[in-house]
Structures are given as C-alpha cells and as structure tokens.
Chains A and B, each alone.
Chain A
Amino acid sequence: MSWFTKTFSSTIGRKIVMSITGLFLCSFLVVHLIGNLQLLASDGGDAFNVYSAFMGTNKVIRFMELILVLGFVFHIYDAIVLTRRNKSARPIDYAEQRPQENSTWSSRNMGLLGTVILVFLIIHLYNFFVPARFGGLDTVSIDNEVYDNLYAEVIYAFSQWWYVLIYVLSMIALAYHLIHGFQSAFQTLGLDHKKYTPFIQKFGYAFSILVCLGFAAIPLYVFFFF
C-alpha cells in the first residue's frame, strides 16, 4: 500500500474523510435551505422554478453537484466501514451497560441517525431530483419562457400528511446527527483549542437546530397554511 492509501484506510484517516465530507455536506445544507425558502414566496412559485432551472443547467452548479455526490459516497462508504469495524471490535457485548452515564445519545447513534438520513435522501431524490433532472414534470410559463413546474410537485408532496411527517422526522434525525457531528468533525481534524472550541461547540449546536428547523418549517407551513 502506498503511504496515501495507508493513511486514508487507517481508523484516523477514514474519520478525517468523514469529517471533511461531513462539513462539506453542512455547507450544502445551507445553500439548499436558502433555495428552499423561495417556496414560501407568494409569487405562485415563479422564483423557485426559475431558481431550480438555473440549478439544473448552470455548469458550475452541475460540477458542484458531482462533488456533492462524491461527498455523500465517501461519507457513507467510510461510515459503513467504520461502523462495521466498531461492531466487530466488541464481539461479545456487556450484559449490563449504563452508557448514559458517560456519553450523549446522539454520539452513540450516529450510524442509526445516518441511516435514517440515507433513507430520507433516497425518498427525497426519487420525488424531486429524479423528475426535475430526468423529466416527468408539468411545465409552466414564466415571462413567456417555459419552465418545469417543480414548485407544483413540491407543494403537492407537502399536502400529504405522511410525507410531511417523514420529512419532519428525518430533519429531527439530521439535527441530532449534526448536534454531535458538527463539533465532532473539528475534533477529528485535531482542531482543538481552549479559545475556539467552546465557540465551535455552541455554533454547531445552534447551526444544527436552526438549519433543521428551517427545513422542517417549510413542509409544515405548506401543509397548514397553503
């Protein structure tokens, strides 16, 4: 093995990959949330549809989309490798355990939380990304130009109570994933300092809750007020 593969297949190296991809995914969440907030504009969805057409065609965005897919792939791949390794590191479990005395629930259940996010991601891509990218949407004309009406598709999905429920529960899982994950990612990179770590921890906590609340508020708002 070369030094490079040795580094990134070590337990510390794999966590470095998870940390960098995890933080990159956090930045993607911010962009995605800002885009989604246009759903709430009272313009019949014009701004959102123009925006989603831009996101689907712009070359820079398409390139970033590729990076994003790779980010997810590496994050999930190393999550599976490490979670399996960690399970086999303790083949016989304790008969009695009191882990609540020494660690937080979310820190112990990142794999479970990640799996919930993954299932949501698949449903989410199937409902919105696939028709938006590969066709199947109705069209709408805005300023004499024809656009795919992704807005209508989203509003329709958000009018079903069970879809809203899945969405909100998944955002709760994401929030817990990030409450542990955001600050953990900095530790994984060895970035720890008396001066900055308390700020990173507080920021990560606020970030996790605000971003996930932002995402969850949209389907709830559409369901109850549209």
Chain B
Amino acid sequence: MDLTLRVWRQKDRNAAGALVTYPVKGISPDMSFLEMLDVLNEDLLIRGEEPIAFDHDCREGICGMCSLFINGRAHGPEKGTTTCQLHMRHFKDGDTITIEPWRAAAFPVHKDLVVDRSAFDRIQQAGGYISVNTGGVPDANAIPIPKSVADKAFDAATCIQCGACVAACKNASAMLFVSAKVSQLALLPQGKTERKTRVENMVAQMDKEGFGACTNTGACAAECPVGISLENINMLRSEYILAKATSENL
C-alpha cells in the first residue's frame, strides 16, 4: 500500500513543531503501525534526514510505551488496541494518516512524537504502592478474597500506564489512570492499610501535575487499550470522599 503521512515534527521541548508530510510506498498490510514508521525512518536515514522519534518497547501490547494520536484517535481507529498492535490492514491504499503526539500540559513533547509521561510516575510514587514489611512470607491462601473482588482488582491492575486516557479526554484528565491504580490496591486486603492516605496523596499529585478535571465523557474508557472501566473512576471518587471525611490527615 502507498500512504501519505502527516507527522508532527518537533526538534526538542522548547522548539515549535509542525506537521510534515511524507509519502510512504510499498507498505504491507501485515505490518504493524510502528513497522510502517520503521520503513519511513529507514528511508529518512538513507536520505540523510533525521528519523522520526516515537516511543516503543515491547511491541506486543503489554508495556505501554507506544503512544501516537492517529487520525484523531488515541492508538488509532481500532478498539482495545495499542499502536504496536495496530495493523496496516485497517487502513486503505492511498489513505492520508495524521500522526500527532499525546497532547497535554502534563505530558510535554520531548521530541517529535515522544512525550514525557513522568507525571504518571510521580503520581504512582505519591501512593501507588503498598508498604510490605519484612518477615516470613504469609500463606497466600490464608487471606480470603471473594472472586468478584479479585477479578475487579486484576482488571484494574492491567493498566499499562500508556496515557491514552489522558490523550483522548477533552480535558486531558488522568482520572482513569489514577482510578485504576487506586482501586487495584484499595480492593485488596493488603492495600487497605494505606488506602485513605494513598487516595488523598495520589489525587493531590494528579491535580498538581496539571491534568484536567473529569466531566464523565467516557472517552478514556472507550479508548483505553486494555479496557479499564469507568467503574474505577467512580470507585476512586467514593474512596476519595471516604478518605477526606474520615482520614486523620489535616
């Protein structure tokens, strides 16, 4: 297939960027979207031009490194798919494809299509963990957890921190990400010890990073590659309300 790409090029954090048009030829429909970009980058290298910088690592949909806002959608047009798992067969020969970085004040563009997502790391560091004390390993089966609760916690734990929720939200809100991290731990007995302080600190950090507020549009869950549900956001809120009303933190 032959395609026309409009790609956001930006030299560094402080430079102004712009969409640049590139033709790409001879793309196989079996290639992934990133492989298609690899082909273009090889062309650029041969021509002595700077290749396009984009994030990727596992290329099998589990690490959350790949991003890209493709034709107006986070991770492209397919539901439940990361960009590395998006195949070119979902496009047509002759298509023009617009490729932009995640857009959010909290995710500054580092270079071209690479954005700095360390705001997510700082939110995690604010409370997205459990403090495990040393000692003998307790028997896992000694703590009964209802299957439905374990399932919900597991579903929340599948968040790969890609940031598509922020990218897709009209408010660049990080609520889906934060809610996945909060409910994953709040649901389980091991996470309950720190649950109030955790939600208070993580929400405070989320606000500090400059993410927007949630308007319940649902765009995040619709675009999340692993299907984190809106239920988590509502759980985050009830956790937050409970914590603010009853925690000892002033």
Q: Which residues of A contact B (CB under 8 A)?
A: 2-3, 6-7, 10-16, 82, 85-86, 88-99, 101-104, 107-108, 110, 180, 184, 187-192
On whether the beta carbons of B218 and A97 are closer than 8 Å, the reply is: no
Which residue on chain B has the smallest CB distance to residue A9?
A: B207
B215 with A184: CB separation less than 8 A: yes
Contact of A190 with B222 in the complex, beta carbons under 8 Å = no
For residue B214, CB closer than 8 A to chain A, the reply is yes
Residue of A90, A91, A110, A191 most packed against chain B (CB within 10 A): A90
Contact B217 A103 (CB under 8 A): yes
Q: List 12 A-B contacts (CB under 8 A).
A: A3-B244, A6-B204, A12-B214, A16-B241, A86-B172, A89-B211, A90-B104, A103-B222, A108-B215, A108-B217, A184-B216, A191-B234
Chain B residue with minimal CB distance to A106?
B217
- Asked if B106 contacts A89 (CB within 8 A), the reply is yes
Give the size of the chain B interface in residues (CB under 8 angstroms): 48
Complex: how many Å from CA A113 to CA B72?
24
Q: Tell whether A187 pairs with B233 under 8 Å between CB atoms, given A90-B103, A98-B72, A101-B222.
A: yes
Instruction: Provide the B98-115 mask, 1 if CB < 8 A to any CB of A, else 0.
Output: 101001111000000000
* Interchain CA distance A190-B182 in the complex, whole Å: 14
Q: Are A99 and B212 in contact (CB under 8 A)?
A: no
Contact A190 B172 (CB under 8 A): no
6 more A-B contacts (CB under 8 A) besides A86-B170, A99-B170?
A15-B213, A88-B210, A89-B210, A98-B72, A99-B72, A108-B217
- For A110, the closest partner residue in chain B by CB is B215
